[in-house]
Amino acid sequence: MVSEQTHDARRIMPHAPRVYLGLGTNLGDRWANLLRAIEGLRAFVAVDAVSPVYETEPWGYANQPPFLNAVVTGLTALSPHDLLSALKQLERDVGRRPTFRYGPRVIDLDILFYGTLCLDGPDLTIPHPRLHERAFVLVPLAHIAPDLLHPILGTSMRALLGNVDTSTVRLLGEVRE
């Protein structure tokens, strides 16, 4: 169902791409981190859907607390690189500090999809290059966009979800703003 906000955003930004953004946090008050990030996203994304929140085991480096993960979607007037810059600034605003790859973090914001754009650059790859391998992304993404097709793989999120182990992904609840 398309929200009233989507209609308003389409009137203001008729050619704006739909973006899907992944959110993750495993340090501090994880719920508060997600809420701050979602609120901050509204400054540059007309957010019209937020997935439920899931608790997941860490990926890439196991010796850290579990993550809370969610996906949001909406329209943006920002270019892909400007969106990436805005996301990095929002991560800093929420409290993220540099750490090692796949290490613990207060917030992590990733561009999963930017319309149907396919981009492979030194600092930005869209679609996110490993999203089809990660249950912590696919479970919330398939919840809000099960029929969304991966522009490179040509496969729906529902089908991609069937190819990953979801046994360590646990539904925690809806985001209440």
Active site members: 96, 105, 108, 110
CA distance 165 to 138: 10
Contacts 24+ apart (CB under 8 A), 66-69: 66/26, 67/24, 67/25, 67/26, 67/30, 67/136, 68/24, 68/25, 68/26, 68/30, 68/31, 68/33, 68/34, 68/172, 69/22, 69/23, 69/24, 69/136, 69/137, 69/139, 69/140
> Which amino acid type is present at position 17?
P
β-strand partners of 46: 75
CB of 142 within 8 A of CB of 149?
no
